[in-house]
Amino acid sequence: MAETLTRPAPSLRHNRTKLREFQAELAERLRVARSTPSSQSRLALRVARAGEESNYLIDLPEAGEILAVPEVTAVPLTRPWYRGLANVRGGLVSVIDLGMYLSGVPTDLDKDSRVLSFSPELKFNAGILVTRMLGLRGTTQLSESRDTVDRDDASKPQWIGRTLIDQDGVRWSELHLGILAVEERFLQISVW
């Protein structure tokens, strides 16, 4: 008996269209922001870790493509935070669960989860799995945290920069993908 394909319900098609429009708009905003000489915009994202969420800002030149979570093939004998390899337009990309890398707790995947690939300029075929993308944030509306805990935290990795606070009191940490890409622990994906 031949299977018949059914069309998605109108509301589902509408949601897919809205998602495509949002992604196209965000891609255009990223393209314009990258071509603007000012470095006042950062890509904002959220990562769930150990029951709480952390907000990060990434310099646009370090950010690559924002992807819906692709099919990921697990690689045996690798660290739990190394989700595996994904085929992105014919190229292999390592997918790292950033929340699990930071806290040991895996990121729950849902409709908002994304993979942010590293910029081609970093020459590192990888992407970080994040809870959700939050668009662009202008740094002119952010102020540096005066919290001494942030300044004196010796355990904070080098790839986590300053802590900034927005007008609503939300804390944002700078995340430097270029430094993360050369961190020894990040490069040691094998359990051997």
Sorted by where each begins, the domain ranges of the chain are 11-146+158-187
Give the predicted TM-score (pTM) of the model. Answer: 0.75
pLDDT at 10: 55
pLDDT at 37: 45
Q: How long is the chain?
A: 192
Mean pLDDT by 10 residues, the chain (192 residues): 48 67 73 58 89 91 95 96 95 95 90 96 95 90 68 76 90 96 94 84
Q: What architecture is the 11-146+158-187 domain classified under in CATH?
A: Beta Barrel (2.40)
String of DSSP letters for the chain: ------PPPHHHHHHHHHHHHHHHHHHHHHHHHHHSS---EEEEEEEEETTEEEEEEEEGGGEEEEEEPPPEE--TTB-TTEEEEEEETTEEEEEEEHHHHHHSPPPPP-TT-EEEEEPGGG---EEEEESEEEEEEEGGG-EE---HHHHH-TTS-TTEEEEEE-TT--EEEEE-HHHHTT-HHHH--B--
